[in-house]
Structure 1
Amino acid sequence: MIASPRSWSLRARLLVTQVVLLAVVCAGIGLATEFALQRFLMNQLDEQVVEAGRRSSVIYQFGPPPPPPDIGTSDGTMDPPLPRPSRRLMIRDNEGPGPEFLNAPGQAILTVGAVVAGGRVLDAGMITTDGARAAIPAAAAAQLAELPADERPVTVDLDGLGRYRVVSFPAHHPGQSVVAGLPTSDVDDTMLWVAAIFCIVAAVALVGAGTAGVVIIRRQLAPLARVSAAAQQVADLELDRGEVRLPTPIVKVDPAAANTEVGQLGSALNRMLDRIAGALSARHASETRVRQFVADASHELRTPLAAIRGYTELAQRKHDELPDDVAHAMSRVESETERMTRLVEDMLLLARLDTGRPLEREPVDLSRLIVDTVSDAHIAGPDHTWELDLPDEPVAVPGDEARLHQVLANLLANARTHTPPGTTVTTSLTVDDRGAAVLTVLDDGPGIPVWLQPEVFERFARGDSSRSRRGGSTGLGLAIVAAVVRAHGGTIVVHSVPGRTEFVVTLPGDSQPRHSGGPSEA
């Protein structure tokens, strides 16, 4: 299928437009030339036809002129006979069908002639290419008999003879007319040759114009190509997080071409990128301050939370001596303190990962880690069905065992918290062709809402806030999972539809390249 012109590049559209316009101009010039040349040649032929018709009419009325007399010399002897003139200069002495005026001086070869009376042909013939007279087909003679004697040339396609330009003159005898005609083959051949030559010249011109157009358009649009490449370079940058450094200026603008369309576009792009760079720098500075504040606040909150937990545990030792309402209040303080402690620890971990703090790099047996983590999940969620799908051989990757344990624990806790009892959660481990470990957590629960899936790894993202709070969720579990996986140089993706939700974690093996640094790096 041919692509729509709207999908073509600007170079292609300019080149095609140029060639098409030139082709239209060439076609217009060619048609005008052919028309003018055809009119000129036909006018010349009409003059010859009218002259042949008048000559034929006069000769038919008065007879052919006598041959020239012999001329003697001064000594009384006779000159040698004159050489025979051409067939256009004297009466031919041949006999044959057709009127005698066909033998008159000036008659050209292939001339047709006829004497018509009362719509019937009395005599008709033509001059052949060797100068002899010959009969013409009866159908052609009948066509000549239909011509009005108005002395105006007309074009007739004579049966068996081709196209002719013929004219009819009234004869001296009442009711008779003399018809003479010449073929249009010379005119047609000339027109055909001119058209062929013009087509060849036009084709060469179009090829030359196309080649020159490619060179000219490429040179003229080179600055625009540089602008496009620069814009693509910026588009490939990761602008969503971390510090972004844009090249300045992104497009070099020639001062001499600053007022051109491409120069104005490059200048506008440079100004726009300067504004974007300033906004990104301000955003990064704000994010840095926020992350530093979160890290500092999380660190500072650990001490008072530890004190609160200590006092609540001390009070809980005398639970039986406390009034019921006070004992209930202390229980609530203890549970909320534990929840806030987990939240502070999660925020502190994210802050550390944001700063790019390196993790431990020790061989981690993922098979054993999965067995231990799924066993813990089975105790925490006995109403769910927990299944394992592990390879026969242990799979090990370099990394931080505690953090990888937290990744899997958070994924299983997410499945337990956001799916109803009776849901089957399957944890599987495979090794791909590149030697990377692929960890998959699959459940047959209700799935993640479509609107939430793009933000599921963002911080404090919740699909059902009330349910999440009842389950003890802080909204940071999947954010921690994504940050830890990125810190290990891996990837995590989610695919979710009703009845099937799948989290896939890919961790590089010993032979896989790892990207150092946390998620804040761009």
Structure 2
Amino acid sequence: MVAATDRPARWRSPTGWPLRTRLVAIMIALLAVLGLVVGGTAALYLKRSLHSQLDDQLDDARRLSRGFGPRPGDQQQPGASGQSQNDGKGVPPGARTDWIVLFLDSSMTEQGGGRVQYRDPETTTTDGRFSSYFERLTDTERADLLTVEPGGGKETVSVGDLGDYRVAIFPTRSFPSGSQEGYIAVGLPLADANTILLTVAGFTGCVVLGSLLIAGWAGALIIRRTLKPLDRVAATASRVAELRLDRGEVRLAQRVPERDTDPRTEVGQVGAALNRMLDHVGSALEARHASEMQVRQFVADASHELRTPLAAIRGYAELTRRSRQPVPDELAHVLGRVESEAKRMTALVEDLLLLARLDAGRPLAQDPVDLTMLAVDATSDAHAAGPGHYWQLDLPDEPVTVTGDGARLHQVLANLLANARTHTPEGSTVTVKVGTVPDAAVLQVIDNGPGIPPELVPHIFERFARGDSSRSRAAGSTGLGLSIVHAVVTSHGGKVGVQSRPGQTVFTVMLPSAVPTTEQHTPYLPRVG
């Protein structure tokens, strides 16, 4: 669920994109901006060029329009479109279809002209000489046309339903009807120019879009091939990350290939730096492992050497108590304390020696072990050691068998029961439960005591971790019992975990089953690690 909700949020921001995607996106964005700039510049230049050509035609039309215009006695004839039209005698030479030529007097009153039209080639006037005529403008079209400043520059005007026109109004004295001042309004349609602009813009857009698609596809291939060395560097780092580096001997054989460590390239610099870092980390891990081995060897040697003097101390203390000569009470008490502390020290030394041997990887016995009988024996011993507790067994109908060291597994259960007896008050109930899950046997020790402090739970299986500050076996423990449990279970390829709350603490041991089974006989299975 988390990955499903995080992915859209990550893709909304470019910072969460892969490097390849960002490079391709940046390249396409730059090419798109470049295409827009080039296409926009070309369109603006073409527009100015086309308008400049129209302006030149307006200047030519001004010159050619002199001497043309309505003549006295010209008759208005109805046009094909229902509007009145003039005979084509006043149409200036060179005028084309849809041009507007309007003759005005000094008061800007229309004296003739209109939109130039050409008759069908098969249609001629009565004298057969004229094939063009003026189509009169509507009031709206005329008003739009006359918004241009007389004698001013050329302007683009939208003339009613006729569309956009390039219009200029020139002063003139060339009316044939007299020499009075007047004006000629000439408008050239922009339809063809706009069509050219739209065609060029559409073609340019298609070319730019196609170029972007090709560039994106080619860029993705090139970038993918270029970043292949980075993938190999990342793969090396991933393989190293999967190694367990916290304990034991670690051999960092993974290195970035030689071809990906060229210092002349950025990826090569990263690869070379990663190799140097792995060299340093490998050296540090070797030094750490050597130091650990020295400490373990020292603990093993010291524990082994201490067993003899401790046995001697205990022997002499016991021999003194058995002497026939009377021993003062004070001396007897001192000797009893010496023997008690010697026993305590012997147990501590034995625990340290066992941990050192397990850390060294000394192989354990691989014999069939019946966990049900082991639970019965260990619970009986615990009942004898703690008669003030209530001890219960929850066993399956069939024996549960695992392969391992029976003595060490008995020690695991004995330590768990001793831990429950030590840290729960008298009258507490301790239940030993044996069951199975698919391909594993489960051993649980459950008590209804006060529970383990939450801050201690993550460290409960560490060495010398204790629930109180006392090191006395009467009041507390040395903190090695549960660490031995963890070490023995781990050596058997199993897992151990704990869940605790006030009123219930559950220690769960999972061991590989000697006989694979799919049956399940454990109603409560907390998480183990």
- On the 8 A contact 1:120/1:145 being kept in 2, the answer is no
Q: Residues 8 and 53 of structure 1: is their aligned pair in 2 closer, same or farther, counting only changes over 3 Å? A: same
**Deviation at residue 253 of structure 1 after TM alignment:** 2.5
Amino acid at match of 1:219: R
Contact 1:378 1:384 in 2 (8 A): yes
- Corresponding residue number in structure 2 for 1:146: 147
Within-5 A mapping of 1:454-465: 454-465=458-469
**d(CA) in 2 for partners of 1:409, 1:504:** 14
Aligned counterpart, 2:168: 167
What are the residue-to-residue correspondences of 1:322-401 with 2, within 5 Å?
A: 322-381=327-386, 386=391, 388-401=393-406
Matched-pair contact (CA < 8 Å) for 1:388–1:427: yes
1:9 to 15, 18, 30: 18
Once the two structures are TM-superposed, the CA of residue 405 in structure 1 deviates from its matched residue by 1.9
Whole-Å separation in 1 of the counterparts to 2:364 and 2:219:
59
TM-score (norm 1): 0.81
Give 1:364's aligned amino acid: V
Deviation at 1:52, TM superposition (A): 3.2
Distance 1:252 1:20 in 2: 35
Is contact 2:261-2:270 (8 Å) kept? no
Counterpart for residue 282 of structure 2: 277
Contact 2:256–2:275 (CA<8 Å) still a contact in 1? yes
Match of 1:479 in 2: 483
**Matched position secondary structure for 1:471:** coil
2:47 corresponds, among 29, 38, 42, to 38
Comparing 236-245 with 413-422, which one deviates more in the overlay? 413-422
Pick the aligned partner of 2:209 from 193, 203, 207: 203
Residues 52 and 456 of structure 1, relative CA distance in 2, 3 Å threshold: farther
Q: 1-side partners of 2:257 and 2:103: how far apart?
A: 88
Partners of 2:276 and 2:498 in 1: how far apart?
A: 39
Please give the secondary structure, in 2, of the residue aligned with 1:364: strand
CA separation in 2, counterparts of 1:51 and 1:311? 137
Name which structure has the greater RCO, CA cutoff 8 Å, separation 6+: 1
**Residue 431 of structure 1 pairs with residue 436 of structure 2:** yes
Q: 1:149 deviation in Å? A: 0.7
The match for 1:108 is 96
State which of 87, 97, 117 in structure 1 corresponds to 2:85.
97
Matches within 5 A, 1:61-460: 96-97=84-85, 103-116=91-104, 118=107, 125-128=114-117, 133-172=134-173, 176-247=182-253, 250-254=255-259, 257-317=262-322, 321-381=326-386, 386=391, 388-419=393-424, 425-433=430-438, 435-443=439-447, 447-449=451-453, 451-460=455-464
Which ranges in structure 1 are unaligned for 5 or more consecutive residues? 64-94, 513-522
Aligned partner of 1:16: which letter? Answer: A
* AA at the equivalent of 1:298: S
Letter in 2 for 1:493: G
Q: Which letter maps to 2:93?
A: P
- Aligned partner of 2:126 in structure 1 is none
Whole-Å separation in 2 of the counterparts to 1:493 and 1:11: 44
2:494 pairs with one of 482, 490, 495: 490
Contact 1:116 1:145 (8 Å CA) reproduced: no
Listed as ranges, the gaps of 5+ residues in structure 2 are: 1-7, 73-82, 120-131, 174-178, 517-529
- Tell me the equivalent position of 1:77: none
Q: Is contact 1:119–1:146 with CA below 8 Å preserved after alignment? A: no
Instruction: Report if the CA contact (8 A) 1:127-1:133 is conserved.
Output: yes
Letter in 2 for 1:231: A
* 1:206–1:449 CA distance, 2 compared to 1 (3 A): farther
1:91-118 superposed Cα distances (whole Å, 9 cap, x missing partner): xxxx952695773321122223434564
Query: Could you tell me how far 1:236 is from its partner in structure 2?
Result: 1.4
Who is 1:29 aligned against? 38
CA distance in 2, matches of 1:195, 1:380: 97
**Structure 1 residues 290 and 113, CA gap change in structure 2 (3 angstroms):** same
Please give the alpha-carbon distance, in whole angstroms, between the structure 2 residues aligned to 1:299 and 1:161: 112
**Equivalent-residue separation in structure 2 for 1:171 and 1:498 (angstroms):** 111
Which stretch has the larger CA shift, 278-287 or 417-426?
Answer: 417-426
After TM superposition, the score normalised by the length of structure 2 is 0.80
What is the CA distance between 1:451 and its match in structure 2?
Answer: 4.9
Q: CA RMSD in A?
A: 3.4
Offset, 1:497: 5.6
SS of the residue 1:97 aligns to: strand
Give the Cα–Cα distance (whole angstroms) in 1 for the partners of residues 87 and 440 of structure 2: 105
Q: What displacement does 1:390 show? A: 4.0
**How far did 1:350 drift?**
1.4
**Shift of the alpha carbon at 1:41?**
1.7
Residue in structure 2 matched with residue 68 of structure 1 by the alignment = none
